[in-house]
């Protein structure tokens, strides 16, 4: 009956712009965490500084996206899927900004560690970084494609991320118990690992909002509403 575009072409392009800005921000955050992890592993303080400096751009994009959403809500009175898209954008943008902050935290640790003697390699740290990065990438793909199945894969994938984090945590604990001289360095790595685990949690939040955006059902915190599953 009707095409899948809005009769009002300006409105249509405003919604498209909002989506594009969110993706652009998501890309920046993804790159920031990748850079932060590389600076940590390669002991590259200059790269860490660059990541920290670029966070200002992420923060500015958050404010701009918030403005776009407010303007759309006030002037367009969106309904149904448009309303869900814009409220999702408002939620996602907060997660993305926070993910940018987590990349900054990892970079701060990388700067610190670059001044200390090298630690032994922790393969799980790389695995954690790879998985958390791909979780965000997949969540953003799900957002663009309006793909609930992909979003659900992200939600389910968080368990693996948590398992790797806990294994790494125990590994680092054993490392510290073996040699008290590494406590400071190991604590920094542990802190960075926690940031990556949190990064994955935010990717899960994005995926949950994608499910809401597409289906109109809220899958967050199932336990707290008397549904099945453990509290999130």
Which of 10, 46, 80, 230 touches other proteins by CB under 8 A? 80
State the nearest-atom distance from the C-beta of 125 to other proteins, in Å. 42
Q: Does 1 bind other proteins (CB under 8 A)?
A: yes
Is residue 4 part of the contact set for other proteins (CB under 8 A)? yes
Which residue among 49, 64, 66, 82 contacts other proteins (CB under 8 A)?
82
User: Of 201-220, which residues contact other proteins (CB under 8 A)?
Assistant: 215-216
Site for other proteins in 5-24 (CB under 8 A): 5-8, 11
Residue among 13 and 81 whose Cβ is closer to other proteins: 81
Q: Which is nearer to other proteins, 190 or 213 (CB)?
A: 213
Contact between 18 and 75 under an 8 Å Cβ cutoff? The reply is no
State yes or no: residue 81 binds other proteins (CB under 8 A).
yes
Query: Which structure tokens are listed for 122?
Result: 């922790």
Select 5 or 170, whichever has its Cβ closest to other proteins. 5
Binding site for other proteins (CB under 8 A): 1-8, 11, 77-84, 215-216
């Amino acid at each position: 009956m009707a095409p899948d575009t809005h009769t009002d072409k300006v409105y249509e392009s405003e919604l498209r712009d909002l989506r594009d800005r969110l993706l652009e921000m998501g890309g920046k955050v993804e790159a920031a965490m990748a850079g932060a992890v590389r600076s940590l592993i390669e002991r590259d303080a200059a790269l860490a500084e660059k990541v920290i400096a670029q966070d200002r751009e992420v923060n500015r994009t958050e404010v701009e996206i918030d403005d776009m959403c407010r303007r759309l809500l006030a002037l367009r009175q969106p309904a149904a899927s448009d309303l869900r898209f814009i409220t999702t954008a408002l939620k996602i943008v907060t997660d993305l900004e926070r993910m940018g902050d987590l990349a900054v935290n990892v970079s701060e640790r990388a700067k610190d560690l670059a001044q200390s003697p090298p630690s032994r390699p922790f393969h799980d740290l790389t695995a954690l970084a790879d998985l958390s990065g791909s979780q965000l990438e997949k969540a953003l793909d799900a957002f663009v494609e309006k793909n609930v199945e992909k979003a659900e894969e992200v939600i389910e994938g968080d368990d693996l991320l948590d398992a790797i984090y806990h294994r790494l945590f125990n590994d680092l604990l054993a490392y510290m118990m073996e040699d008290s001289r590494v406590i400071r360095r190991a604590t920094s790595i542990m802190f960075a690992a926690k940031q990556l685990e949190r990064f994955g949690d935010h990717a899960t939040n994005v995926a949950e909002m994608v499910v809401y955006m597409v289906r109109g059902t809220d899958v967050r915190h199932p336990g707290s509403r008397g549904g099945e599953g453990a509290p999130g």
